[in-house]
Amino acid sequence: MSDGRDNPSTPFPDGVPVLVDTATGVILRAHGEADLPAIAEQCRDADTQRWTTVPIPAGGYGVADARSFVDSHARDGWVSGQAPTWAIEAPVGEANVFCGSISLRLEGDGIAEIAFGLHPAARGRSIMSSAIRLSRDYGFDVLGLRVLRWRAVVGNWGSRRAVAAAGFRFDGTVRQLLVHRGELLDGWVATMTADDPRPSLGWADPPVLTGADIVLRPFVQSDAPRIVEACSDPRTRHWLVSLPAPYGRPEAMDFLEATRETAAQRTGLNWCVADRSSGVCLGSISLLGFGGYSRRAEIGYWAHPGARGAGVTTAAVQLVTEHAEANHLIDSLVIRCAAGNTASRHVAEGSGYQLSGVLPTAEPLGDGSLADLVTYSRP
């Protein structure tokens, strides 16, 4: 195996290895002539230009610029052996299409930086997380790399969530790390080593917990419509003012990716509360707060409007509480909610939690008022 310092030349495009994620349908392959219009579209995208150093020609990024990228970057990366670069292809709608590009920029001594960009039509589908996992495994298993590093401008949450879902550990923020269009900007850094665990599904799945009528399982993309319905509901929004507005599919996909990053960072677990028979999403429940200075965690939840009043959330809280206590995950469990949120309070009390304190005018509500915040804990 190579250590990333002296990799052999690879003929382009015929010698470029094709990598396939059979679970998601994502494919890494050589760039081709048919990709040029989509590459140009991607490089004209405002977010691409905001977060990456893609050129911005005076006349706009066109097909000729895309051809130059393929010839001077993708081709040369393989021929030199110093920057393996793939086109990302994945199913979007009813067809497989070009979705972006991903590279391993070899630095020597078994170290490489991973760099990538996604076409706007492919975002919010976990495509990039799959592409990162494929290139990650190629780097470690084929090229013999020891360390993969990721850097991005602070605020590029889409990129950060994607690497977290592939198992990268966030290292922190470095001031004025990156030169971006003539400015020095603060940057994020994350690292993965050859010895680190490699999540195959993008995150450490929370364990499936089964009750009489419900099952707690990881969220999946097909839950997105139910998430949108629940988080657009006026009653939900009154009590959970931090929800984005408006709330549509992009926000639901951001939520799904956030649950994966939370698990990847080992700071919490998020479950979909689903009907045991049909598998339909009935709500959400989370156990958050791991990795802090104390072994204390908070349970949070919301229910789809069609699942309210059936005891579903109470059963979910009981399952999570039993799991946390049986596995000694934490020493203290709390539930917090607005004093006037009687449904949420009934869930806490019905799950065996006792009122332990009230913080006056501490919880903002959807109508702009402030409510008392009540705290429940296990006896």
At a CB cut-off of 8 Å and minimum separation 6, what does 245 contact? Answer: 237
Could you tell me if 97 and 221 lie in one domain? no
Tally of domains within the chain: 2
Instruction: State the pLDDT at residue 200.
Output: 63
Q: Which residue has the tokens 């698990």?
A: 263
In a domain, 362, yes or no: yes
137 touches 131 (CB < 8 A): no
User: Whole-structure pTM over 0.75, yes or no?
Assistant: no
275 touches 283 (CB < 8 A): no
The token duo for 125 is 């589908």
Torsion sign across C-alpha atoms 8, 9, 14, 17: positive
At a CB cut-off of 8 Å and minimum separation 6, what does 342 contact? Answer: none
One pLDDT digit (tens) per residue for the chain, 379 residues = 444 445 778 999 999 999 999 888 999 999 999 999 999 999 999 999 999 999 999 889 999 999 999 998 999 999 999 999 999 999 988 889 999 999 999 999 999 999 999 999 998 788 998 999 999 999 999 999 999 999 999 989 889 888 988 889 889 999 999 999 999 999 999 999 999 988 765 445 678 999 999 999 999 889 999 999 999 999 999 999 999 999 999 999 889 878 877 776 678 899 999 999 999 999 999 999 876 667 789 999 999 999 999 999 999 999 999 998 888 777 889 999 999 999 999 999 999 999 999 999 999 999 999 999 999 999 8
Q: Which residue has the tokens 């990721």?
A: 150
Could you tell me if 132 and 252 lie in one domain? no
Last-in-domain residue among 113, 146, 179: 146
CATH code of residue 288: 3.40.630.30
Could you tell me if 136 and 223 lie in one domain? no
In a domain, 172, yes or no: no
Instruction: State the pLDDT at residue 267.
Output: 81
At a CB cut-off of 8 Å and minimum separation 6, what does 44 contact? Answer: 60, 61
The distance of Cα 343 from the centroid of its chain, to the nearest Å, equals: 30
The token duo for 3 is 């250590």
- Summarised one tens digit per residue, pLDDT across range 128-145 is 989 999 999 999 999 999
Instruction: State the pLDDT at residue 1.
Output: 44
In a domain, 167, yes or no: no
The token duo for 40 is 């140009």
Could you tell me if 129 and 262 lie in one domain? no
Distance CA 156, CA 187 (A): 9
Last-in-domain residue among 146, 164, 192: 146
Enumerate the β-bridge partners of residue 271: 285
In a domain, 279, yes or no: yes
Distance CA 245, CA 201 (A): 29
Could you tell me if 335 and 233 lie in one domain? yes
In a domain, 58, yes or no: yes
Range of the domain at 61: 19-146
Distance CA 195, CA 368 (A): 50
Other Cβ atoms within 10 Å of 179 Cβ, number? 11
Distance CA 252, CA 224 (A): 6
In a domain, 247, yes or no: yes
Could you tell me if 105 and 224 lie in one domain? no
Distance CA 200, CA 3 (A): 24
